[in-house]
């Protein structure tokens, strides 16, 4: 029988109890293994306690912070090992054999137990728990329950170690708070890398102490005369820390040797002709470059990459490398060889757009493939020489492409990308002559030539970001358009509850 608030009440051994409204498998990205037990639902109540050991306290605090506003329950966090497990949600650091990001979630009427070998694994499990409660759990103010978690066991771990999105803060600038909101969306869907495209022709967005005019002058402009802006090193550190707490690694990109016009407006001596150019606020690409035959170019790069490396705890420095159309091939390859060595000297690993393929191998280097063809001999050759890949094919993963020809904003040079097109491909099988083991994962780039507001940004991000997230996280065997669009539909009310804009694609059966 359905009760007044639409929740089904069943009678088990004479006791009336509430059934969960979300099914155990209705999680996005879909977990590796789901074993529901319809007789094992757990009611979250005013008495529920969150138990944790001190080393994972932050994960328990985050869970409590996510659940308190809507439930109105106190959900105290305790590190007392003697606290009873009955009626509690227990977060435990123990090895369920599911790798560094995996977790196991057991939901029974007596209590909930989340187990992982790392805080990151617990963090991913916390996001699963959040999705297992009704959409109203996203409400910033208390709403009536009941709050029931569906019974059973989930064991889960990612398919790929690199799951990311890229935000272009150079064409249009987005402040720290906007970036943190993007981090929240990544964490929600278990994405673990945020690639920030920090520099381009239209703006330089990170303060470099040894070259202060880069931000002060180069950061003042944006596409179409929009306000510029830049991150102080303290701002950047705040983003790094906020992301790290959510198990998201920052990948900073300094785009070289092309896409450097903003740097030249700040320091004319870096310009190949030595003349300071006026700012550029259009959207053309490929016209600017640093001179690969001048020593000043390399001391400049060493200073910049040295400072960015010192601010960045993650392993990668992205040196760009795309669309340097004015630099001849041989000079370009020599430039990339040297720039790669500078990255290695900072202690970091090279990431670059796949145009850097012809350069020499550099230890551990990773190419980000943004082509639209399934066959790229240069990239396959670089992989044979040791490179690995992050997949960002523009016709599948570009978040700046229009959904349909009549979308209000977006590019269309790589075609239109609605949800099915974004979802229905395999990162490990996209490129010919590249073994699956060479693919570290996926990244969805959001270029911002046409993106001027938070609403625009969210509109392009959602609902395609969860599609990329599922490609990155879920096992290939779990890939299923019918199931995905149904689970995706259930995210709509969650975004609405949090005031988040999204594209109501007709491909998805939104409620
Ligand atoms: C190509 S993708 C670019 C960017 C543009 C983007 C627009 C890549 C590495 N370079 O400079 O913003 O297309 O879709």
Among 376, 318, 316, 324, residue whose Cα is nearest residue 347: 316
pTM score of the predicted model: 0.96
Query: Which two structure tokens, joined as six digits, stand for 290?
Result: 């640093």
pLDDT at 91 exceeding the cut of 50: yes
β-pair partners for 166: 195, 445
- Is the Cβ–Cβ distance between 45 and 111 less than 8 Å? no
- Can you give the pLDDT at residue 17? 59
Identify the burial level of 326 via C-beta atoms within 10 angstroms of its C-beta, where 0-12 means exposed, 13-18 middle and 19 or more buried: middle
Q: Name the DSSP class of 38.
A: T
The predicted structure's pLDDT at residue 15 = 45
Sequence-ordered list of residues with C-beta below 8 angstroms from that of 358, at least 6 positions apart, any chain: 329, 332, 333, 336, 378, 382
How far, in Å, is the centroid of ligand 1 from the Cα of 389?
A: 18
Q: Which tens digit of pLDDT belongs to each residue from 124-169?
A: 999 999 999 999 999 999 999 999 999 999 999 999 999 999 999 9
Distance 446 CA to ligand 1 centre (A): 9
Per-residue pLDDT at 54: 97
Q: Is the CB of 411 under 6 A from ligand 1?
A: yes
Q: What is the pLDDT of residues 196-205, one digit of tens each?
A: 999 999 999 9
The residues, ordered by sequence, that sit 6+ positions from 248 with a Cβ below 8 Å of its Cβ are: 183, 186, 187, 191, 192, 193, 194
Ligand 1 center–CA 322 separation, angstroms: 8
Residue nearest to atom 13 of ligand 1 (CA): 447
Do the domains at 19-156 and 162-479 have one common CATH topology? no
Catalytic residues, by residue number, are 323
| ipTM above 0.90 for this complex | yes
Residue 369 Cβ inside 6 Å of ligand 1? The answer reads: no
Q: Which residue has the higher pLDDT, 18 or 19?
A: 19
For residue 496, what pLDDT band results from cuts at 50, 70 and 90?
very high
Ligand 1, atom 8, lies closest to the CA of: 322
Query: Distances in Å between the alpha carbon of 411 and those of 1, 68, 416?
Result: 50, 41, 8
The helices-and-strands tally (H runs, E runs) of the chain is 15, 21
DSSP 232-285: -HHHHHHHHHHHHHTT-EEEEEEEESBS-HHHHHH-GGGSTTS-PPPP--S---
Residue nearest to atom 7 of ligand 1 (CA): 447
- pLDDT classification of 243: cutoffs 50, 70, 90: very high
Ligand 1 geometric centre to CA of 202 (Å): 13
Q: Ligand 1 within 6 A of 353 CB?
A: yes
Residue 322 near ligand 1, beta carbon < 6 Å: yes
Angle between helices 233-245 and 176-188 in degrees, nearest 10: 20
Q: How confident is the model at residue 360 (pLDDT cuts 50, 70, 90)?
A: very high
Residue nearest to atom 4 of ligand 1 (CA): 447
How far the first Cα of the chain sits from its last, in Å, is 22
- For the Cβ of 418 lying below 6 angstroms from any atom of ligand 1, the answer is no
Q: 502, 493, 503: which is closest to 22 by C-alpha?
A: 493
Q: Looking only at Cα atoms, what is the longest distance across the chain?
A: 86
Q: Which of 390, 397, 294 is nearest to 349 (CA)?
A: 390
* Pairwise CA distance, residues 251 & 375, whole Å: 27
- For 328-357, how does the pLDDT look when each residue is reduced to its tens digit (9 = 90+)? 999 999 999 999 999 999 999 999 999 999
Mutate to test the pocket of ligand 1, among 260, 280, 447 (most ligand atoms within 8 A of CB): 447
Q: Are strands 49-52 and 77-78 parallel, antiparallel or unpaired?
A: parallel
The CA-based angle 238-240-241, given to 5 degrees, is 65
Q: What is the mean pLDDT of residues 64-88?
A: 98
Q: How many residues does the chain have?
A: 511
Distance 447 CA to ligand 1 centre (A): 7
Q: Is the CB of 201 under 6 A from ligand 1?
A: no
CATH number belonging to domain 19-156: 3.30.379.10
Distance separating alpha carbons of residues 198 and 254, to the nearest angstrom: 6
Alpha-carbon distance 451 to 457, whole Å?
Answer: 6
Residues 6+ apart with CB under 8 A from 6: none
Tens-digit pLDDT profile for residues 257-294 = 999 999 999 999 999 999 999 999 999 999 999 999 99
For domain 162-479, give the CATH number: 3.20.20.80
Candidate of 261, 323, 356, 413 to mutate for ligand 1, largest count of ligand atoms within 8 Å of Cβ? 323
Is 90 exceeded by the pLDDT of residue 7?
Answer: no
Atom 5 of ligand 1: nearest residue by CA position = 447
Which of 256, 285, 318, 399 should be mutated for ligand 1, with most atoms under 8 A from CB?
A: 285
Name which residue sits closest to atom 2 of ligand 1, judged by CA.
370
Which atom from ligand 1 is nearest to the alpha carbon of 398?
Answer: 14
The fraction of the chain above a pLDDT of 90, given in percent, is: 96
CA 345 to each of CA 303, 309, 320, 321: distance values in angstroms, whole numbers, following the listed order: 12, 10, 17, 18
Of all protein residues, the one whose alpha carbon is nearest to atom 6 of ligand 1 is: 447
Task: Map out the domains of the chain as residue ranges.
Answer: 19-156, 162-479
- Here the tokens at position 456 are 């625009």
Is the shortest distance between the CB of 226 and ligand 1 below 6 Å? no
pLDDT score, position 11: 41
Q: What is the pLDDT of residues 315-330, one digit of tens each?
A: 999 999 999 999 999 9
Average confidence (pLDDT) over 362-366? 97
Answer whether 286 contacts ligand 1 (Cβ < 6 A). no
Q: Is the CB of 415 under 6 A from ligand 1?
A: no
Question: Half-sphere exposure (CA, 13 Å, Cβ side) for 284?
Answer: 6
């Amino acid at each position: 029988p359905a009760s007044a608030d639409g929740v089904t009440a069943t009678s088990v051994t004479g006791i009336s109890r509430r059934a969960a409204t979300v099914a155990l498998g209705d999680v996005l990205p879909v977990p590796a293994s789901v074993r529901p037990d319809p007789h094992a639902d757990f009611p979250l109540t005013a008495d529920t306690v969150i138990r944790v050991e001190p080393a994972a306290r932050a994960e328990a605090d985050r869970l409590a912070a996510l659940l308190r506003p809507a439930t109105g329950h106190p959900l105290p966090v305790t590190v007392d090992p003697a606290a009873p497990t009955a009626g509690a949600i227990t977060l435990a650091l123990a090895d369920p054999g599911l790798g560094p990001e995996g977790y196991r979630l057991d939901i029974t009427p007596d209590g909930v137990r989340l187990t992982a070998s790392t805080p990151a694994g617990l963090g991913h499990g916390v996001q699963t728990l959040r999705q297992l409660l009704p959409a109203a759990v996203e409400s910033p103010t208390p709403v009536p329950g009941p709050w029931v978690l569906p019974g059973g066991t989930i064991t889960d771990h990612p398919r790929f170690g690199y799951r990311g999105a890229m935000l272009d803060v150079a064409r249009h600038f987005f402040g720290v708070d906007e970036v943190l909101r993007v981090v929240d969306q990544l964490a929600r869907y278990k994405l673990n890398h945020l690639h920030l495209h920090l520099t381009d022709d239209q703006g330089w967005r990170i303060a470099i102490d040894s070259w202060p005019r880069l931000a002060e002058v180069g950061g003042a402009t944006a596409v179409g005369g929009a306000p510029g802006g830049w991150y102080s090193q303290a701002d950047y550190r705040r983003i790094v820390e906020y992301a790290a707490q959510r198990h998201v690694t920052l990948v900073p990109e300094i785009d070289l040797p092309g896409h450097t016009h903003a740097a030249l407006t700040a320091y004319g001596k870096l310009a190949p002709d030595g003349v300071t150019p006026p700012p550029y606020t259009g959207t053309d690409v490929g016209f600017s470059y640093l001179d690969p035959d001048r020593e000043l170019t390399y001391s400049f790069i060493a200073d910049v990459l040295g400072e960015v490396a010192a601010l960045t705890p993650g392993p990668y420095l992205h040196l760009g490398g795309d669309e340097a159309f004015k630099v001849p091939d041989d000079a370009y390859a020599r430039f990339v060889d040297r720039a790669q060595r500078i990255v290695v000297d900072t202690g970091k690993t090279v990431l670059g757009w796949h145009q850097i393929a012809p350069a020499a191998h550099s230890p551990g280097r990773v190419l980000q493939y943004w082509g639209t063809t399934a066959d790229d001999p240069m990239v396959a050759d670089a992989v044979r020489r040791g490179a690995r890949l992050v997949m960002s094919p523009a016709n599948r993963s570009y978040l700046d492409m229009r959904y349909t020809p009549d979308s209000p904003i977006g590019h269309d040079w790589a075609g239109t990308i609605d949800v099915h097109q974004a979802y229905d491909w395999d990162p490990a099988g996209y490129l010919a002559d590249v073994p699956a083991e060479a693919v570290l994962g996926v990244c969805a780039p959001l270029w911002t030539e046409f993106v001027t507001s938070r609403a625009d940004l969210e509109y392009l991000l959602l609902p395609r970001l969860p599609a990329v997230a599922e490609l990155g996280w879920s096992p290939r065997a779990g890939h299923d358009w019918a199931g995905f669009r149904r689970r995706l539909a259930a995210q709509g009310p969650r975004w609405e509850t949090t005031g988040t804009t999204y594209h109501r694609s007709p491909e998805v059966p939104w409620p």
